[in-house]
A and B are shown apart, each in its own frame.
Chain A
Amino acid sequence: MAQNDINKIKDHAELFQQPEYQELFQAKKEFECGHESEEVTQMADWTKTWEYREKNFARQALTVNPAKACQPLGAILAAVGFEGTLPFVHGSQGCVAYFRSHFTRHFKEPFSAVSSSMTEDAAVFGGMKNLIEGLAVSYNLYKPKMIAVCTTCMAEVIGDDLQAFIRTSKEEGAVPEEFPVPYAHTPSFVGSHILGYDNMMKGILSNLTAGKKKETTNGKINFIPGFETYIGNLREIKRIANVMGIEYTLLADNSEYLDSPNNGTYNMYPGGTKLEDAADSINAEATIALQAYATTKTREYIEHEWHQKTYVNRPVGIRGTDEFLMKLSALTGKPIPQELEDERGRAVDALTDSQAWLHGKRVAMYGDPDLVIGLTQFLLEVGAEPVHILVSNSNEHFEAELRALLDSSPFGQGATIHGGRDLWHMRSLLFTEPVDLLIGNSYGKYLWRDTKTPFVRIGYPIFDRHHLHRYATYGYQGTINLLNWIVNTLLDELDRNTIIPSKTDISYDLIR
């Protein structure tokens, strides 16, 4: 019997390897009408060829395993960075169940969001009634300080007008007149989750800052993280600002929300940027966005409406962090303290210690545009060579920026940018032009299985490894984390490949 040892109960990982289950799988084939194993092997081999790659890249209509999600996901991530804020998605309710599950699986934290639960009747008559009742119910039940409304594709296709609906909701007393209900239109058939983040950030800031412009600045720097899923990065930015003695406003700070302490009581709205601080962000000295392509519209809005200077700085790797600190110093007049310079020295020390294992290593990667640029910066610094860079939610500006970055280094010359492509394209790339390392989110594990390319999980979502999102990838300390994940993956793989006694274990070295 399969569970023959009560002290070692076998779950799926072992149970189905037992002979009785193996027999069952064999017997089941009789009814499956599957293909002969020879045919499957032949087909699998064909998918590894250049011929297949060409057919694969000729695809025009089909997307397979994309590396992007849709707008509202980003919108609600932006919303939960503000104090007491409940994200409200106007449209059919299934979307919200998906968003909540997706974030919860990644962060292993609660994620609260509501919807207006639109059904067939709303498809015909519009969703205004749903929005009015929804605002009243969520305001009463969940006692938020702000409700941030965005849309699903359903609401967009039927053309619901959020501005008018919210006005009517307030007139009908669903929420008090002064209660902030910022909104953003976030159709899923435009852009991706990073555009949703941008739209909602702009929506919230324009709502909260309306009429708050003063004659003088508040002396602060605004930071906008973008679609940031590393909680450690938010903490690192705050730490750096504190070490430098800089007054700042983080727009917005979801680090407590997505990593709250377990002390035995559940708080629905932990942490978050205070609404009055967010309102006062219009009076800051300047705004630094830590991602460009998740903040494009927000920065345009800040420049035009607030008449405030904005900058993009990605504090990734040594040079990225250097530039970030120097920008901060230039904007505030504060010197870069010795503490940070020492950290820099340690990070550089770590890089030089490990460089031999990274130099000339060929790397494939995929992810959101800003993530990919940050990683490319880092890889070029350590002498690794980006080869395949794939971004599903690409655009022209991004590709030009990335190309310029690659051109600036001898290690970037061999790289190809694959904008608008998906992970099935990546599979062809990895088979036809193999690399030493693949970097991407958890979905890359299927590529790791098929192509055996050593794989480092960096990005969003990461479902199948624990706690990576708690670390920083920004700053000098984040540089050491990136280095750690990458170099130790290569060393793990080297050990795995040299583990057979008296056959491959010649190079199974103790000291590396």
Chain B
Amino acid sequence: MTPPESATLSKPTPVEEKKELIQEALEAYPEKSRKKREKHLNVYEEGKSDCGVKSNIKSIPGTMTTRGCAYAGSKGVVWGPIKDMVHISHGPVGCGYYSWSGRRNYYIGTTGIDSFGTMQFTSDFQERDIVFGGDKKLAKLIDEIEELFPLNRGISIQSECPIGLIGDDIEAVAKKKSKETGKTVVPVRCEGFRGVSQSLGHHIANDTIRDWVFPKADKAKKEGTLGFEPGPYDVAIIGDYNIGGDAWSSRILLEEIGLRVVAQWSGDGTLHEMMLTPSVKLNLVHCYRSMNYISRHMEEAYGIPWLEYNFFGPTKIAASLREIAAKFDETIQAKAEEVIAKYEAQTKAVLEKYRSRLEGKTVALMVGGLRPRHVVPAFEDLGMKLIGTGYEFGHNDDYKRTTHYVENGTLIYDDVSAYEFEHFVKALKPDLIASGIKEKYVFQKMALPFRQMHSWDYSGPYHGYDGFAIFARDMDLALNSPTWSLIGAPWKKSE
């Protein structure tokens, strides 16, 4: 005889337990702020179409948020990695200095001559520029760039906070200079105070590509000066920033299945590749959060479909390759199967070596815009289990998409504050934390293995089959390092 249902309910469910945990974390807040934060923390319940958290809302002043700003989203993410353009950090020296070489967007080129990715160009605003405006300085600065770096293919002006506040007309300067030099000069209104995180910077940057790059591409196409013969298998990789070479270990697979990758946005990307993109047959979007805007625009304006794919871990890689191939003919589909089969042995070897060492380990994630969901299957491929996840700057649609990736009872935290994150980790005791540099040493001091999921902890690539091998190796070295067992003096332990 089965016991009545109520008898089995005496123990709180995982969902209830975690909801209690959230309430505990909220207790420290002043009431008004607590009410605001409450909406950003929840537990995923199976069958629901959303993770049940509010997102993309202003961070509460005084919380330790990990979020950046619109400038970081535009200069650091979307525009900065376009390697053959000079990106001016327009305003005071700091923003450009701190974002200099921070993201490991790998590229091939001669830095300072035809490539500019690991350099910092700034107008280094002084008080007089704030008082009198910086437009004249900007115009002169662009002339100096043309003289000293003549092989640049274009310039972007990345506005820092003061630009919008003092009312500079960077659009006018951009138009004038573009006319003079014949090159693309893009003014970007990505002042740091705009929006609530770096996310708005992605959107603004996307809009400037639409407004300042595509019209030129359209014109060149019309005049036949684009220098490009479209083919039936042309695709673009959108929103892969080539961290540690991710876009390359992705590109190699797409080319192996017979597609022609004509553009990479934006790791190792060039302005010309951007110009070619309106001519492709399909846009392949890896980081949906940062590039959905321009992909939607191309769909509307040029009729180019787009597909969000995931190249983390063999399960998703195979599924994505099949999904991508399905958009093309049988030749491509057959090749996709061949490629999946080709890498089977490599993947098997990786799993044989690493799965037994990682099986059953739990992970808490907190990253930026796509990884809080995209890397989950890669952990699962290794037998690891996700117990909590959240975005720095995700939107509602990201949390909807996340439901496909998480299990019942997973803790969800949007724009988590340092205080909340520590509280959750102390209670849930995950075996691994996967987050960013600002969180890394906090958790390592708690004797918790940690991997940076923004920069791959200076390793990578993690995308594609070649990247998965490195991912597996890195999770093993993080979790199974003997150094963790040295923490705490033995004479203290025996007390």
- Residues in A lying within 8 Å of B, measured CB to CB: 1-4, 6-7, 9-12, 15-16, 20-21, 24-25, 27-28, 31-35, 39-40, 43-44, 47, 52, 55-56, 59-66, 68-70, 72-73, 88, 91-95, 97-102, 104-105, 108-120, 122-123, 130-131, 133-142, 152-154, 157-158, 187-190, 192, 260, 262-267, 424, 427, 443, 446, 450
B61 near A98 with CB under 8 A, answer no
When chains A and B are docked, how far (Å) is the Cα of A190 from the Cα of B251? 45
Stretch from B48-56, B158-166, B302-310 that touches the partner:
B158-166
Contact with A along B89-100 (1 / 0, CB 8 A): 001111101111
**Known contacts A16-B248, A44-B113, A157-B161, A138 near B438 by CB under 8 Å:** no
Stretch from B16-24, B148-156, B313-321 that touches the partner:
B148-156
B194 near A108 with CB under 8 A, answer no
Between A and B, 7 residue pairs with Cβ closer than 8 Å are: A1-B343, A34-B270, A114-B64, A137-B61, A187-B92, A189-B126, A265-B445
Contact partner of B67 (CB less than 8 A), chosen from A10, A32, A62, A94, is A94
When chains A and B are docked, how far (Å) is the Cα of A443 from the Cα of B446? 32
Nearest first, the 3 A-B pairs at minimum CB distance are: A94-B69, A70-B94, A134-B61
Q: CB-nearest residue of chain B relative to A113?
A: B64
Contact partner of A11 (CB less than 8 A), chosen from B111, B140, B441, B459, is B459
A32 near B272 with CB under 8 A, answer yes
A33 near B59 with CB under 8 A, answer no
**Known contacts A61-B141, A104-B437, A427-B112, A117 near B61 by CB under 8 Å:** yes
B473 proximal to A (CB < 8 A): yes
A262 near B98 with CB under 8 A, answer no
| Additional 11 contacts, C-beta under 8 A, given A28-B261, A31-B272, A264-B487 | A7-B353, A31-B263, A43-B113, A44-B113, A69-B97, A73-B94, A94-B67, A98-B99, A118-B193, A188-B92, A450-B111
Q: CB-nearest residue of chain B relative to A260?
A: B445
* Contacting residues, chain A, for B145 (C-beta < 8 A): 62
* Contacting residues, chain B, for A40 (C-beta < 8 A): 110, 113-114, 151
When chains A and B are docked, how far (Å) is the Cα of A202 from the Cα of B261? 57
B178 proximal to A (CB < 8 A): no
**Known contacts A63-B124, A266-B422, A153 near B198 by CB under 8 Å:** no
Contact with A along B65-86 (1 / 0, CB 8 A): 1111111100000000000100
Q: Most chain-B CB neighbours within 10 Å: which of A4, A33, A136, A142? A: A33
Contact partner of A94 (CB less than 8 A), chosen from B72, B92, B488, is B72
A70 near B92 with CB under 8 A, answer yes
Q: Most chain-B CB neighbours within 10 Å: which of A21, A66, A130? A: A66
Contact partner of A15 (CB less than 8 A), chosen from B162, B419, B461, is B461
* Contacting residues, chain B, for A12 (C-beta < 8 A): 106, 244-245, 459-461
B461 near A116 with CB under 8 A, answer no
A6 near B488 with CB under 8 A, answer no
When chains A and B are docked, how far (Å) is the Cα of A265 from the Cα of B488? 9
Contact partner of B469 (CB less than 8 A), chosen from A3, A73, A142, A152, is A3
B122 proximal to A (CB < 8 A): yes
A120 near B98 with CB under 8 A, answer no
